[in-house]
Amino acid sequence: MSDSEQPGFVLWDWPVRLIHWVIVLLLPASWWTAEEGYLTVHQWLGLTLLVLVLTRLCWGFLGSPQARFRDFLRGPRTVLAYLRGAPSATPGHNPAGGWSVVLLWLLLLAQALTGTVNSDDVLYTGPFYYVFDSSIADALAELHEPIFKLILAFVAFHVGAVVFYERRRDQRLLKPMLTGRAEGREGTGPSQPLYKAIILALVLAALLWGLMELAPEPPPAFYW
């Protein structure tokens, strides 16, 4: 799948858009399956989230120009100058928005990772629970719910920022995340094809599966 059918470079490539919207679907699905006790499904949704977030982080080094960290991560002086009214130097994430999305990705990563060491001692045990001493695993698992609450707060902030920019600054943020293109803004170079991100995601999924296969098994329940 290519973004090069129309003139000009796209702002957001296919991998950025697909990962974004799949995560949007995964978050409520993960919450619902946990609330309803579908823990096996919840685990697989969490592992899918982990692979997607890792893919997006890697895409920050390998992806299209506006997907790369070097395009939108700036130092504190640039962020403060932007907040005081200075223009953004890139058509992609502005200096403040760039750091906020990175923080959200890191929270999602922490949420997925703490889920792999979670256990209710009855129906569910994460695939990496026995990698650690039980006290360490339990301490990490205790962070799972508070991190989710932080994610909800950041999602609310993110949605609020989109509404603010759409309504008050007349800057379209939603449409580019759907179509890849925005009026008055173009990418600064050709986009990377979707198949490269798919290969990357499959490699990361295979590595995760391998680590799960190598993880210690639960101890036997009875000794003879």
Is residue 3 in some structural domain? no
pLDDT value, residue 79: 94
Question: Is residue 2 one of the residues assigned to a domain?
Answer: no
Q: Centre a 10 Å sphere on the Cβ of residue 125 and count the other Cβ atoms it contains.
A: 17
Residue 124 has a pLDDT of: 81
Residue 176, token pair as written in the block: 């580019």
Q: Assign 119 a pLDDT band (cuts: 50, 70, 90).
A: confident
For residue 177 the two structure tokens come to 């995340």
* DSSP string over 9-30: --SS-HHHHHHHHHHHHHHHHH
Long-range contacts of 70-75 (CB under 8 A, 24+ apart): 71/188, 72/97, 72/98, 73/98, 73/99, 73/102, 74/98
pTM reported for the whole predicted model: 0.91
In this prediction, residue 205 carries a pLDDT of 98
Q: What is the pLDDT of residue 6?
A: 55
CATH number of the structural domain spanning residue 104: 1.20.950
Across residues 193-219, what is the average pLDDT? 94
Instruction: Give me the pLDDT at residue 103, please.
Output: 95
Q: DSSP assignment, residue 65? A: G
pLDDT tens readout for residues 155-164: 999 888 888 8
Does some domain include residue 104?
Answer: yes
In a domain, 5, yes or no: no
Per-residue model confidence (pLDDT) at position 123: 73
Q: Could you read off the pLDDT of 68-115 as tens digits, one per residue?
A: 999 999 999 999 999 898 988 889 998 998 999 999 999 999 999 999
| 62/71 Cα distance (integer angstroms) | 12
- Domain assignment present for residue 115? The answer is yes
Asked if residue 101 belongs to a domain, the reply is yes
The mean per-residue pLDDT over the stretch 196-206 comes to 98
Q: Do 42 and 33 meet the contact criterion of CB atoms below 8 Å apart?
A: yes
pLDDT bracket for residue 5 (50, 70, 90)? low
For residue 224, what pLDDT is reported? 44
127 within domain boundaries: yes
Q: Does position 49 have pLDDT exceeding 90, yes or no?
A: yes
pLDDT 10s digits, 138-156? 999 999 999 999 999 999 9
**Residue 188 lies in domain:** 14-214
Mean per-residue pLDDT of the chain: 90
If one counts the domains in the chain, the total is 1
Q: Which residues share a beta bridge with 119?
A: 125
**Residue 93 placed within a domain:** yes
